[in-house]
Chains A and B, each alone.
Chain A
């Protein structure tokens, strides 16, 4: 029941609304009760309402309002990108993006693959059933 992910300097968050939707950003300072100063390698440092951020488990070690270079170094040292892509949340997003970008031909090939996998699974299942009943 207690909170596990806190808003703090260095907390990595995912933007869930607006122009920067889907980006990973680092909370670099807290402006007031509702807003944070937020920064990412490929964007200009800007303010964002907390409601637009979804906190992640990743936290990096930075001082309050670091220089861009220091921020980039800290992100590299903590391997934010790697940790994100390995995390189940990050993997889910990657899969969603891949599924959305599938071509009509790709969707057809996917359907064939699913049918093939299901048939293999069913064969194994019947084998197991036969062995257990025998």
Chain B
């Protein structure tokens, strides 16, 4: 946005502005410009308009009238991040394979999902995407300043396209061998790169390592609506 512009004629209340016709005309100052230019407002000649080229009739008309769909200029933006979730916050995952695990929040990806890591050595949660709705944000923060998360985005987590193999007849009858896709080395390297400075920051806080390694669960007498996270 441009630098805040001065409001010449503020609205005092709906429908009523501060200055009336004469005052606002005077304030606008066009009279001063007119005065400087001898009674007339300075005016430059219009640029000559080139002759418009006459439109030729189209060579081809489509057979049926096709309705053009309405244009959609909506640009999806990432979900609004809850105020309690800032980079370095410890989150509690509420659903999925790592239900109950306490993980460290890194950043919000352009799709709106949260990038999160265990760290892997502490609780087995790798670099992973997680939906904000399935997460409780605690008030515990970890120092995340030593970590560079710029290279991660949704494309990094996209499923690898399966290569279709042409089968010969005998291979059809052979039981399909499940190809185990082992983790690419790049993922392991990235995990290590993110986790090492994180683990250092975590170990500087007493008991935080054990906290992140433990799972959260509701015990007897705990009322979620009364708990402070």
Contacts and interface: CB of A to CB of B under 8 A. Distances in A.
Q: Do A and B come from one complex?
A: yes
Interface of A: 100-105, 108-109, 112
Contacts of A100: 226, 228
B40 to A, nearest CB: 69
Contacts of B139: 103-104
Nearest to B139: A103
A105 B208 contact: yes
Nearest to B136: A104
B138 A108 contact: no
Contacts of B228: 100-104
Contact of A104 (B140, B207, B226): B140
Contacts, number: 33
Interface of B: 90, 92, 102, 138-140, 207-208, 210-211, 214, 216, 226-229
Contacts of B138: 103-105
Contacts of A104: 90, 92, 102, 138-140, 216, 227-229
B207 A108 contact: yes
Contacts of A103: 138-140, 228-229
A105 B209 CA distance: 11
Nearest to B206: A109
A101 B226 CA distance: 9
Contacts of A109: 207, 211
21 contacts: A100-B228, A101-B228, A102-B228, A103-B138, A103-B229, A104-B92, A104-B138, A104-B227, A104-B228, A104-B229, A105-B90, A105-B140, A105-B208, A105-B211, A108-B207, A108-B210, A108-B211, A108-B214, A109-B207, A112-B207, A112-B210
Nearest to B92: A104
A109 B206 CA distance: 9
